[in-house]
Structure 1
Amino acid sequence: MALSIRRDVVRDDPTSPRLWTVLTSGPFARRWIGRPAPTAPGLTLSTERPTLLYFRTRGCTVCDLVDMQVAQACHQASVDLVIIDRYAKSDDPADRAIYDQPGNLLDKGGVINEQYAVGVYPTFVLVNPEHRIVLKDVGAKAKPEVFKAYLEEQFRLAQ
């Protein structure tokens, strides 16, 4: 049995990930380790503690399952968390108010997603205090019950 995945790409649609974006979010993500973290408007990285950039989007079931575990693991491991939503959870103004809070970004136009080559959600990029990438991983394979332990192990290795 063969599995085929088809993704229609619209050339002028900025939400359509390019092939290199999809590849660098999956099998070739290790190439990012050790590189300087790209700078982006509105994105602030800590110089004292590691920062986890948590890329998520509307309709991502895995994101919804691990949101609280990501926040708890970051808190327990003293890792700053920046949540970068590709699209708002809804068009309701009450849902958009969360992006006025520190640590929550709405990536209008996908600029930050593109700079970090995010094409799969959720994606996690762990940046050390020297602003070097120490982990880039896709969380779709993580089961919610083991996700907390997985994050804690990654944070431990990054310190």
Structure 2
Amino acid sequence: MTTTPPRTIRLKLPQPIGRLLARLLTARTVRPGAVILPPAALKVQGPTLLYFKTEACVACEGLDLWVGQLAASAGLKLRVIDARRGEVPLHAYGDDLLLDEGGEVRRAYGIRVFPTLVLTNPSGDIERVVMAVPEDPEAARRAVTAGLGLDSPA
């Protein structure tokens, strides 16, 4: 028995509806200056980049390998919070992965849009937040680098 891989479905909405939907989805997302005590499962011990992603996220695919390089070049710890509902080997992202199957971590940060990147310090102070990343990998990298105030890795 062979199974077909899942298809990505893209919806084109008129711009006013798309903007309204984006505002509604991001209205409760954590903002810079907020303080959220990081859940113990994240093991935050220094400046940390939280990368919220999911399996149906086209823009996430273009960031997956690069975001680790960005975090390393900026001296940040990386934590990948994966909202994946399918099966993924636990070793797929190494020790940086947290499978957020119940959604507790996403809810703590108000994440409803993927990918979302949150730059935080150990005390829970949110320094930067980047959402609504373009699907084009180069444009996504530029948006993330600028949004986080970091230099892009070579």
Fold conserved (TM > 0.5)? yes
What's 1:144 paired with? 137
What's 1:59 paired with? 56
What's 2:68 paired with? 71
TM-score by length of structure 2 reads 0.71
What's 2:109 paired with? 116
Alignment of 1:1-159 (within 5 A): 3-4=16-17, 22-25=26-29, 32-47=31-46, 50-88=47-85, 90-91=86-87, 95-98=88-91, 101-141=94-134, 143-153=136-146, 154-156=148-150
Post-superposition CA distance 1:28-57 (Å, at most 9, x none): x5xx2122233324111123xx20000001
| Mapped contact 1:69–1:147 kept (Cα < 8 A) | no
| Identical aligned residues as a percent | 27
Give 1:142 shift: 6.5
Label 1:79 to 1:149 Cα distance change in 2 as closer, same or farther (>3 A): farther
Structure 1 residues without counterparts, runs of 5 or longer: 6-18
Post-superposition CA distance 1:76-114 (Å, at most 9, x none): 1111110000125x32xxx32227832100002100000
CA distance in 2 between partners of 1:102 and 1:73 (Å): 17
Post-superposition CA distance 1:93-138 (Å, at most 9, x none): xx32227832100002100000000000000110024431001121
Q: Give the aligned residue type for 2:79.
A: V
- Let me know the Cα RMSD of the aligned residues: 2.7
**Secondary structure at the residue paired with 1:84?**
strand
Question: After TM superposition, which residue ranges in structure 1, 4 or more long, deviate above 3 angstroms?
Answer: 1-5, 146-153
Q: Give the aligned residue type for 1:137.
A: V
CA distance in 2 between partners of 1:126 and 1:2 (Å): 29
